[in-house]
Amino acid sequence: MAMLARLARRVAPPPASAARQLSSGSKTFTVEFEKPFDAYLCDGPGMTSVETTTEDVLGLWKTMYKMRRMELAADQLYKSKQIRGFCHLYDGQEAVCVGMEAAITWKDSIITAYRDHCQQLSRGDSVERIMAELMGKATGCAKGKGGSMHMYMAENNFFGGNGIVGAQQPLGAGLAFAHKYKGDGSVAFTLYGDGAANQGQLFEAMNMAALWKLPCIFVCENNRYGMGTSSKRGAAMPEYYKRGQYMPGLCADGMNVLAVREAVKYATAHCRAGQGPFVLEFDTYRYHGHSMSDPGVTYRDRTEVSGVREKRDPVNKARSWLTDKAGMADAELKAIEVATRKGIDAEMAKAIAASAPPLTELYDGVYKDQNPNMFIRGCDMPSSHGDFSVSA
């Protein structure tokens, strides 16, 4: 029963709003959008500001701050050689993930590429399980077999984490096809970067999605750089929201969580109305290199990175709304930050202490309904000292 209760907590979507007791009280205030929405073959939201509340922004900021601290902790684990292999961090882009989730539910599907830790968290998983997966531990969300690029939570309609550039794009169209086939009213979000926007399979997927009017939203997280190359050097037309050609598109400030939310609301309404696919582009930025093996400053200088941190950081931007517009005390927010860091440290310690997967996991899950006596060519199963049947 305890296990079922834990699963229920993971599967159940978070409530649309939750009452919070704030020492400074709650206020309604207006946030101006510094960057306008750029629309293609549609009118767009047509707004230059949005009205919000203290509770609303506080919830968004807390989630973004938690993601930021989780990614920085992963950076430490990698540098201390606790994480091996690939590791792609999301810090700087948190507003895209959080703003998108704020406009949809877990009934909607998401599929992305290898920068996927924060999507796993936003879909209901824990920092401990994400960290354990990064370190290849048995308690990880994919039993330690997937690592950084292969987070997965199908019960909440998150389908990864994909290591091959652009491979998730046609899969996202397939998820949208499934939603239309079932008639469940849900939408599929296919996330990719500006580098993967040049992959041919994206245009094949867009063509099918448009032909069949699939409820698919193609989301380009334009963080300005592919694997060491700026988008301006790698794309003949870096206006990615227009790449759908025959489908509407919208470009929004990907460093403003509220702008992201309004853009996603607009695109989702289009798809839910049966009008076919939509293209979103979010102008965002990654602070780390392409991966941890990339210092990130050979093709851009440190001044550029620090300039974005100072002027556009999505976490600090939301925090400033809370102090400047909602009137929250800085000490109150610092207390939340300290508690968040302590919580992440505790979960990280549990993940570090977890065990590696047993050798029996080496061949487990290769085939559906496999049994201990089945033959797998090229696998010397008896010498691995275990029974490689499907786990209970």
Tell me: pLDDT of 372 over 80.
no
More confident residue, 26 or 25: 26
Tell me: pLDDT of 4 over 90.
no
Give the mean model confidence (pLDDT) for residues 187-198: 97
Q: Is the pTM here over 0.85, yes or no?
A: yes
Give the mean model confidence (pLDDT) for residues 36-55: 97
CA 283 to chain centre: 15
Give CA–CA dist 217/267, Å, rounded.
Answer: 7
pLDDT of residue 311: 97
Judged on CB neighbours under 10 Å (0-12, 13-18, 19+), 7 is: exposed
Give the mean model confidence (pLDDT) for residues 356-382: 73
Output the CA angle 94-100-104, nearest 5 degrees: 145
Q: Check if the beta carbon of residue 283 is closer than 8 Å to that of residue 252.
A: yes
Question: pLDDT confidence of 362, banded at 50, 70, 90?
Answer: confident
| DSSP-based three-state secondary structure for 40 | strand
- Residue located via tokens 């989730």: 101
Sort strands 109-111 and 278-283 into parallel, antiparallel or unpaired: unpaired
pLDDT digits (tens, 9 = 90+) for 271-329: 999 999 999 999 999 999 999 999 999 999 999 999 999 999 999 999 999 999 999 99
pLDDT of residue 111: 98
pLDDT of residue 365: 75
pLDDT of residue 3: 38
- Residue located via tokens 């409530």: 15
Q: CATH second-level architecture of 24-357?
A: 3-Layer(aba) Sandwich (3.40)
pLDDT digits (tens, 9 = 90+) for 60-84: 999 999 999 999 999 999 999 999 9
| DSSP-based three-state secondary structure for 53 | strand
Lowest-pLDDT range of 21-30, 210-219, 248-257:
21-30
pLDDT digits (tens, 9 = 90+) for 320-333: 999 999 999 999 99
Question: pLDDT confidence of 389, banded at 50, 70, 90?
Answer: very low
Tell me: pLDDT of 388 over 50.
no
pLDDT of residue 16: 38
Structural element, H or E, at residue 266: helix 257-272
pLDDT digits (tens, 9 = 90+) for 219-264: 999 999 998 899 999 999 999 999 999 999 999 999 999 999 999 9
Q: Enumerate residues 6+ apart whose C-beta is below 8 A from 277.
A: 176, 206, 209, 210, 213, 214, 215, 216, 217, 218, 244, 247, 271
Question: pLDDT confidence of 9, banded at 50, 70, 90?
Answer: very low
Tell me: pLDDT of 366 over 80.
no
283 phi-psi bin (left φ>0, alpha ψ -120 to 50, beta other): beta
Strands (E), the chain: 28-32, 38-40, 49-53, 109-111, 188-193, 216-222, 249-253, 278-283
Per domain, the residue ranges of the chain are: 24-357, 359-392
Q: Check if the beta carbon of residue 117 is closer than 8 Å to that of residue 151.
A: yes
Residue type, 330: D
Across the chain, what does the average pLDDT equal?
Answer: 90
pLDDT digits (tens, 9 = 90+) for 115-169: 999 999 999 999 999 999 999 999 999 999 999 999 999 999 999 999 999 999 9
Give CA–CA dist 142/136, Å, rounded.
Answer: 9
pLDDT digits (tens, 9 = 90+) for 87-99: 999 999 999 999 9
Judged on CB neighbours under 10 Å (0-12, 13-18, 19+), 386 is: middle
Count Cβ neighbours within 10 Å for each residue of 153-164 and write b for 16 or more, e otherwise: beebbbbbbbbe
Q: Check if the beta carbon of residue 202 is closer than 8 Å to that of residue 190.
A: no
